[in-house]
Amino acid sequence: MTVRFFSFGEDSMVDTFYAIGLVMRLCQSISLLELLHICLGIEPNHLLPRFLQLTERIIILFVVITSQEEVQEKYVVCVLFIFWNLLDMVRYTYSMLSVIGISYAVLTWLSQTLWMPIYPLCVLAEAFAIYQSLPYFESFGTYSTKLPFDLSIYFPYVLKIYLMMLFIGMYYTYSHLYSERRDVLRVCPMKKKKM
């Protein structure tokens, strides 16, 4: 008889949304308070880059994943949740400690560096989730609507336009985060020893 202590197989990845989807929706909804914290000056970040990041997540989670049950079973949902939580775990720990005046060099460096490889991967995974959802939005007609005067909104077209905007937003956010990283980590010139 074989005992398995840890199994991370196909079923666990497919069931990710069913296991933690409600918690993810709750946490992402609460993360919108971060925008209020920035506006009130509690957090010293810039509003537009955080707004873009949070908007990406809200649209992907609530509009793309939650509205299409078939997308909820895709592997990309598990990948997105891992990436989002990894970034948030470090970023919110760093932010919380910064607000109360505690600073750790390693945590500062990790907070200012971890996003560099992970954020573009997040955007690629978000784009892939949209790409995988398109056939379902097309066949079910979710969010597509007819307007008066022979006008209509075909939601898959809206998602395709959003895909382009996603990468433009990524470029802006990445540029901003990189300049913020440079300011926070301020590379000091090394002093040469006199011989």
> By CB neighbour count within 10 A (0-12 exposed, 13-18 middle, 19+ buried), where does 2 fall?
exposed
Which is catalytic among the residues 34, 56, 94, 126?
126
Residues whose CB is less than 8 angstroms from the CB of residue 49 and which lie 6 or more positions away in sequence, other chains included: 172, 173, 176, 177
- Told to judge if 73 belongs to the known catalytic residues of this protein, a careful annotator would answer no
- Told to judge if 126 belongs to the known catalytic residues of this protein, a careful annotator would answer yes
Which is catalytic among the residues 119, 143, 154, 174?
119
Distance CA 82, CA 175 (A): 23
Q: Which helix (H) or strand (E) holds 61?
A: none
Q: Residue 165, by phi and psi: left (phi above 0), alpha (psi -120 to 50) or beta?
A: alpha
Q: What are phi and psi of 39, to 5 degrees?
A: -65, -35
CA proximity to 102, closest of 93, 110, 111, 90: 93
Residues whose CB is less than 8 angstroms from the CB of residue 21 and which lie 6 or more positions away in sequence, other chains included: 65, 66, 72
Distance CA 159, CA 55 (A): 14
Residues tagged active-site: 119, 126
